[in-house]
Amino acid sequence: MSAPLLEVRNLVKSFPGVRALKGVSLSLGHGEVLAVIGENGAGKSTLMKILAGVQPPDSGELLVDGQPRQLRSVQDALALGIALIHQELNLAETLEVGANIFLGREPTRWGLIDRTKVREGARVVLEQVGLRIDPDTPLSDLTIGQQQLVEIAKALSIQARVLIMDEPTSSLSVHEAQALERLIKDLRSRGVSIVYISHRLGEVEAIADRVVVLRDGENAGSLPRESIRREEMVKLMVGRELSQFYPHQPHQRPSVALRVQGVRTVQHPIHSLSLELHAGEIVGLAGLVGAGRTELLEALFGVTPPLSGSIEIAGKPVQPRSPIEAIEAGLALVPEDRKHHGLVLEMGVRENISLASLSRDQNAGFLNHPRELALCEEMTAAMRIKTPHREQPVQFLSGGNQQKVVIGKWLATAPKVLFLDEPTRGVDIGAKQEIYRLMEEQAAKGVAILFASSEMEEILGMSDRVLVMHEGRLSGELPREALSEESIMALATGSAPSTPAPAPARAL
């Protein structure tokens, strides 16, 4: 057998405070679709960035056609025919499709861009990806799915042999996702190899020739075509039986903790959103990227106050126009973007934990030092935050410990209703379990929890009930008994009719 097209051995990569990869190996054959799966923080994105030359590994080997290579830049990778299709698309919105495809290597004639060649070249590759549009169309006129196809066309135009797709379907409609699936099969038949990263195990079952599972920066196992099954994949991903991993017990109480009626967000003003959370209930908020989950949470928390609608907390009407008003009303939000919205990275653990409670604990404007210290001790212990000392700047903590600091900051405010936006993004598996345990503890204490997540297993494992969003509206609600990846995806991609909405989800 000939050498694999692409092979890596013992890749190690560290970032300040965390070892993202601890010796990962994999190989990719010609015309193979290899799915790389793993929970958040397993090291998938780091591995892909190394394969695409975005960042170098600390150690380990990378071989292309059996030859050891060093990828120092994206250009090095492209020269070897390896192209990364980013989760966030890397296209210039203001340029035309053709110009995007040839960006940085425009064909020229007498020093000027040869527009005819651009158009013709673009047409060829656009046809290969099944996109029938004029190369002169401005990119901004295309849907996200079409833009993604343009990016794939761009990779084909440089004769890419390896396409790395990082969660390509995370913002696609069902129809677009199916088209992408067909395209992947078509590319494979023409000998292009594909590394496919996805959180959607259903998709992986459908298209992968082989599955490599990463867990906590290490190879957790691999599955050949015939044994790719959901249960097998999940078992390898979490490293034990599911029931042990998600410690979920139902806790709901009859009292309504949060009632939201007719809220319209600035980003999706045409949809009116209504929901209810009971005390002690854990509700998952599912949906594709861009479905409006973060916008809803931020509207309720007063970051971007809603345009209209009413909010009640434990029966009391509130109108948070800013986060401080939301905090005083008993809300807390663990934001999606930990580094930009959750933490002051240069400040220590103590100062971060107390930041949202300073105002409550003040002595006529002065800091309450003993209280602050007590709060820090309490949260560090309760969250099991691993830090050399409480003044350690949080930028030097691992992602998991950083996230625990953010959660600790919000639990310190003793909220009645806790919103978590992607609470386990970029954290290792140990921290993840601790976060689930904390969610359970809070729910047992009667806190109502609404958590948005793109990770299907987490939604399935932790929710008493799931609300699903699609293009800015609440497209449905599923009780725990009716939860499955398929039922959630049908609502998230708008391919199922809205569930007959129970009272709280009724559009006003």
Does residue number 346 form part of the binding site for other proteins (CB under 8 A)? yes
Does residue number 359 form part of the binding site for other proteins (CB under 8 A)? yes
Please, which residue, 262 or 393, has the CB nearer to other proteins?
393
C-alpha span between 349 and 354 (Å, rounded): 9
Stretches 38-46, 72-80, 360-368, 448-456: which one binds other proteins (CB under 8 A)? 360-368
Q: Interaction with other proteins in 233-252: which residues (CB under 8 A)?
A: none
C-alpha span between 399 and 413 (Å, rounded): 22
Question: Using a CB cutoff of 8 Å and minimum separation of 24, what contacts does 178-184 make?
Answer: 179/130, 179/145, 180/145, 180/148, 180/149, 181/206, 181/207, 182/130, 183/129, 183/130, 183/149, 183/152, 184/33
Does residue number 10 form part of the binding site for other proteins (CB under 8 A)? no
CB of 491 to other proteins, least distance (A): 29
Does residue number 344 form part of the binding site for other proteins (CB under 8 A)? yes
Q: How far is CA 10 from the centre of its chain?
A: 26
Stretches 41-49, 143-151, 358-366, 462-470: which one binds other proteins (CB under 8 A)? 358-366
The 379-398 site mask, x for binding other proteins (CB under 8 A), equals -------x-x----x--xxx
Residue 17 has which token pair? 């405070």
C-alpha span between 32 and 39 (Å, rounded): 23
Please, which residue, 169 or 398, has the CB nearer to other proteins?
398
Q: How far is CA 80 from the centre of its chain?
A: 29
Q: Please identify which residue in 53, 342, 415, 472 interacts with other proteins, judged by CB under 8 A.
A: 342
Query: Cα angle vertex 320, ends 422, 284, to 5°?
Result: 25
R_g of the chain computed on alpha carbons: 24
Q: Collect all residues with Cβ–Cβ distance below 8 Å to 43 and sequence separation of at least 6.
A: 13, 20, 21, 24, 214, 216, 217, 218
Does residue number 345 form part of the binding site for other proteins (CB under 8 A)? yes
Does residue number 355 form part of the binding site for other proteins (CB under 8 A)? yes
Please, which residue, 102 or 410, has the CB nearer to other proteins?
410
Does residue number 374 form part of the binding site for other proteins (CB under 8 A)? no
Query: Cα angle vertex 168, ends 167, 171, to 5°?
Result: 95
Stretches 70-78, 281-289, 346-354, 454-462: which one binds other proteins (CB under 8 A)? 346-354
Does residue number 366 form part of the binding site for other proteins (CB under 8 A)? yes
CB of 489 to other proteins, least distance (A): 30
Q: Please identify which residue in 367, 373, 482, 507 interacts with other proteins, judged by CB under 8 A.
A: 367
CB of 23 to other proteins, least distance (A): 12
Q: Please identify which residue in 347, 425, 487, 498 interacts with other proteins, judged by CB under 8 A.
A: 347
Q: Collect all residues with Cβ–Cβ distance below 8 Å to 369 and sequence separation of at least 6.
A: none
Q: Please identify which residue in 14, 27, 55, 137 interacts with other proteins, judged by CB under 8 A.
A: 14
* Chain position carrying tokens 């793109």: 454
Judge whether 410 and 334 are in contact, CB under 8 Å. yes
Judge whether 297 and 463 are in contact, CB under 8 Å. no
Question: For the residues of 239-290, what is the DSSP string, one character each?
Answer: SS-HHHHS-------SSEEEEEEEEE-SSSTT--EEEEEETT-EEEEEE-TT
Stretches 10-18, 153-161, 163-171, 483-491: which one binds other proteins (CB under 8 A)? 10-18
The 409-438 site mask, x for binding other proteins (CB under 8 A), equals x-----------------------------
The pair phi, psi for residue 350, each rounded to 5°, is: -60, -50
Which run of H or of E encompasses 491? helix 485-492
The 270-309 site mask, x for binding other proteins (CB under 8 A), equals -------------------------------x-x------
Please, which residue, 262 or 323, has the CB nearer to other proteins?
323
C-alpha span between 21 and 94 (Å, rounded): 37
Tell me which residue of 200, 182, 76, 194 sits closest to 129, measured CA to CA: 182
State how beta strands 193-197 and 162-166 pair: parallel
Please, which residue, 319 or 359, has the CB nearer to other proteins?
359
Q: What is the size of the binding site for other proteins (CB under 8 A)?
A: 38
Residues near other proteins (CB under 8 A) are 14, 16-19, 301, 303, 322-324, 326-327, 333, 335, 340-347, 351, 355-356, 358-359, 362, 365-367, 386, 388, 393, 396-398, 409
